[in-house]
Amino acid sequence: MSQALYRKYRSRKLSDVIGQKHITDILEQALKTGQIAHAYLFSGPRGVGKTSIARILAHEINSFEYSGEDSHLDIIEVDAASNSKVDEMRELTDKVAIAPTRGKKKVYIIDEVHMLSNSAFNAMLKTLEEPPEHIVFILATTDAHKVPVTVLSRAQKFVFHLVAPETVAAHLKMIAKSEKISIDEAALALIAERGGGSVRDSITLLDQVQNLAEAEASGGNTTITREKLESYLGLANVDMVKKLLQAYVGGNNTEAIGQAEEFFKSGLTPEVVAGQLIRVILKTGASGGEKAAKLYQLADKLTEVGRSNYPEVKLLAALAG
């Protein structure tokens, strides 16, 4: 079985990480000067590099080689979602007094740290307050607001950002070239958009789309276009989405409703259509004026489609004005 692309192209050093230069530059300087904190908190959306940077930093602190699949006794990874109880945290903190076997520091990476129970946080806090010299904690979370202030105050905090679509698209282009995946620029831009600022999710989507394209071509080579990608992902054609919105803004509600019904006939759900309409509105309606105001009012109505018991009717009613 071939290796998943997100694993194959996982960052191996800090300079490889995409879109988090405001963090990697500081950490690289800290490594050069030896100013290593006893605790770090990495917070931000999923799939933007928190765990990757945690692993790289742990290896760099100890001058260990890192290939992405390494295992060292001095680097301990804990999934807080599966080890949230106080007894499990006490067992971990009881071991911090043990010196590292090979490295300079014993590094604990605790992923999704916000999942710890209050009792587990209190057990960890005792160690954070008076950490042994040889211990480094790297805490990662998608919900920093759920981490107690007492823990936050004892860690050096780094906030990760969603990665800009153009940055993700450029990275996907590099991967596609390396993997000899034939895909056009518009399709790469759509994958980056659907990835929502997550590099990992975008690479995974590229992998899935390539597998679909290969299956469709029976192993032969085929170029993945935006149109093919829209079909693979069950999306409406973006040009037709724009045409619908033009009809709506122009007061031709009957044409807009007719186009929406065509989307439904092709198998697209109202939720998917509403989501695409909102995306296009947010991209194109920012110029201001009466038309933009009308589009934003429509977008507000479309946000209710997914919550309705009758989403198709809700979407058509929104387009009816």
What whole-number distance in Å separates Cα of residue 139 and Cα of residue 22?
18
- Digit-coded pLDDT (tens) for 104-150: 999 999 999 998 888 888 878 878 888 889 999 999 999 999 999 99
What whole-number distance in Å separates Cα of residue 288 and Cα of residue 95?
60
- Digit-coded pLDDT (tens) for 296-311: 899 999 999 999 999 9
Q: All domains of the chain, ordered by start, with CATH?
A: 5-159 (3.40.50.300), 165-233 (1.10.8.60), 238-319 (1.20.272)
Spatial CA neighbour of 183 closest among 226, 231, 230: 226
Residue 224 contacts by C-beta under 8 Å, 6 or more apart in sequence?
A: 181, 182, 183, 184, 187, 209, 210, 213
Q: Backbone dihedral region of 63: left (phi > 0), alpha (psi from -120 to 50 degrees) or beta?
A: left
Ordered per-residue pLDDT tens for the chain, 321 residues: 568 898 899 999 999 999 999 999 999 999 999 999 999 999 999 999 999 999 999 999 999 988 766 678 899 888 887 765 667 677 777 777 788 888 899 999 999 999 888 888 887 887 888 888 999 999 999 999 999 999 899 999 999 999 999 999 999 999 999 999 999 999 999 999 999 999 999 999 999 998 888 777 665 557 899 999 998 888 999 899 999 999 999 999 999 999 999 999 988 999 999 999 998 898 775 555 778 888 989 999 999 999 999 999 999 999 997
